[in-house]
Structure 1
Amino acid sequence: MGSALRWLAFAICVAGLVLGQFGRTFDDVRRYGHISDIMQSEWAATNIWLDSTECTVSRGVWLAVCEDGRLIPISERAIADDPGHALLLSAWAAMTGEPATLVDVARLNTLINTIGLVALAALLFSLRAWITSLVLLVRGPIEFLGWMGTSPHWAFIGTVSLAGILPLAIVTRSNRAWIAGGIAALAVVTLIRESIGLMGFALTLGALAATALQRPRPAHLLPRLALMVVLATGALLAPKWATMARDAAFPMAPAERLQTHGLSHTLYLGLGFVENKWGIRYHDEHGADLANRAGIIYCSPEYFRMMWKLYLARIVEDPVEVARIYWEKALQLLAVPTMQPGPPFGIVLAIGLVHLLAATWFGLWRRVGFPQGLPIEGVSLAFLGLFLAQAILALPSHLYAVPVNAFILVLFGAIVEFVARGLWTLAARHRRVTG
């Protein structure tokens, strides 16, 4: 089958398997239109995003709210919030000339998930992992589009999928179009969710290291690798570029708070997700109380520096207690399924690791005609490991773990394709022997 016919087949699969669920979900979000006039979103930052789009329509500014004729940086109202949703909604408001609504927020989440699903499936298809791509397209609509909401969390599974484009494209030596698209995707991901952007960045560095180690003379790759690191770092800094551009373009009071979740904030409060000797609580109010006692502004640069000091001090003070906390949180994720129905996350991780190690040890990837399966499974398992790390360091909540299902599906699809290709290889060998 020619390349054009293969991509036509892919487009037909997308149309038949994805667009139907997308259309239903996209239409169902109209329910938020019935409540937007009488109540706000339960997620406080969402309401600030909508206020910001009013400022976009009236003043042409982004990442700001208009109060008494003044421009206020959005970080002063949507505290410790990533800027992606607010920025995208402002872009939509600028194009339509109307402030965004709760319906627009839910539809934005649906679009992000759809784009993430189709982009990841398309990359797998371009790698000739056809069964893996098909498994993702068959099961993906339920996981990606079977749910909706107006907080940023509802878009995280699509965001995780986009975060995997760049490392997977690098480690499989895909063409420059996929590399460029992966860099752009990483910038969007970091705008939407800082922690997921960090995952994509970490895997990108790992993919670059793996690429260098695979070459007999890696020194010749150093300029290209250095350029990729610079571009990926630039994508990781997209939130800072967006706020710097806003500050340069519009006169407004300087922001006292950072436009970010803040890693140190999450790490320190993460120690309070289970009972602990220090009385730390996993709640933003606990961090605000610490800031008030120290006489500093909550979520300011000084606050995040203080949280780093507190976090490191707790590790030095009692590393055994910290290890106990992290062990308990790891078990909370490992013991429960992230997909319904499905085995516990720990079982999924163990099956994937055993299959990857066994197939690699016995050199089976090339023998079954599926060498691309090794980097696909490797990237998938790396994401599973990073989500386990997130559960350990931050919180093992199901809401934050569910986005990993994107790469659980890819892992499952790769194993199915490995088995299918293996059976085909055995059947072909049997025909040659008996024929």
Structure 2
Amino acid sequence: MTEVFTPARLGPITLRNRVIKAATFEGRTPDALVTAELIAFHREVAAGGVGMTTVAYCAVAPGGRTDRHQIWMRPDAVPGLRRLTDAVHAEGAAACAQIGHAGPVANAASNRLPALAPSPMFSPLGMQKMQVPDEAQLRELIAAHANAARLAEQSGFDAVEIHFGHNYLTSSFLSPLLNRRKDRYGGALENRARLAREVAAAVAEAVGGRLAVTAKLNMEDGVRGGLTVPESLRVAAWLQDDGHLDALELTAGSSLLNPMLLFHGAAPRRSFAKTLPTPARLGFRAMGRVFLKEYPYQEAYLLERARQFRRELTMPLILLGGITNLDTMQQAMAEGFDFVAMGRALLREPNLLRRIQADAGFRSACIHCNECMPTIYSGTRCVYRLAVPQAEAGTAAPRKASRSATKRSG
């Protein structure tokens, strides 16, 4: 327990412990600006004991949102973001802004702006062809990332996390399946990685060592023809050698083609179908099993892939995926990971870290049903949290490790 809950350096900042609240889109910004509900969401997690909480998702441009309700970084957003970071700091935690451009994952119909992709593609979200940016437009996008980082600094954030995962724009450039360009940004892996490296350099220069700069990087896309672990290892080594990042958070999966590789556990197909309009619902029912595959849940389910990165890299790494109890955190530290990131377990119990600090045998109540995933459209939450009011109030007896607890946790 000592190592997990001791202060740790992340670039120029020090976190009170080695646990980070991962970026999970909150669904609490109906006007693309901070709300009291968003502040309360992050304040509660900060009060619950994490070292840093990550605000997701702060798009670098209005067309880079997955829908028009998401925050995009502009001067009008700064006052609300400053109130949010002040609230987080008051609880003793650091605040990180996840910045990026959704690219082919953006909803052009909702944003009323074209979605972007490295090569010609049709958007099932916007029901229209995506726009392929030329090199001049890519330079503008790189500058937009730098501007977003500067606005994050003005807003009081301690760190920025650049989104290089899940086939968002930069990740889509890394994918040989999605990137069929013939210019300097396509073809060989070195060319496909150019955008990521240039974005990282621009962001680092913009904040000048005053903020920590991390990136969420796909270890693999999990689709045939997509980015593979060996390719991602080469990209990670280049990012390390460039020296612009303070840590990498390792992830997997494609929001376009295979989102469940990131989550593991039950695939909430019926619940997702209910959120869709009738025509799309019918199509989803027909293709839902193809889109939402099922991967059995286990603790630290991305660890086997991440070990390969830990063996080959010297830079700090953040382990994500199935981190719910102290045993897993300690294992990550023992294997050389510098931090762990938690998502769904903190939706169920925002004060989980405090409980673990008080009792090392405490076990998360998260059952990995993934019913939280469809709630992103109405405020991301654990749908079972209200079913255990005593436990949420901290009055229930701690859950010790047991066969029944293990079964509940999947």
Q: Identify the structure with the greater strand proportion.
A: 2
Tell whether the structures are fold-level matches, with TM greater than 0.5. Answer: no
In the superposition, the TM-score normalised over structure 1's length comes to 0.28
Question: Per residue, is there more helix in 1 or in 2?
Answer: 1
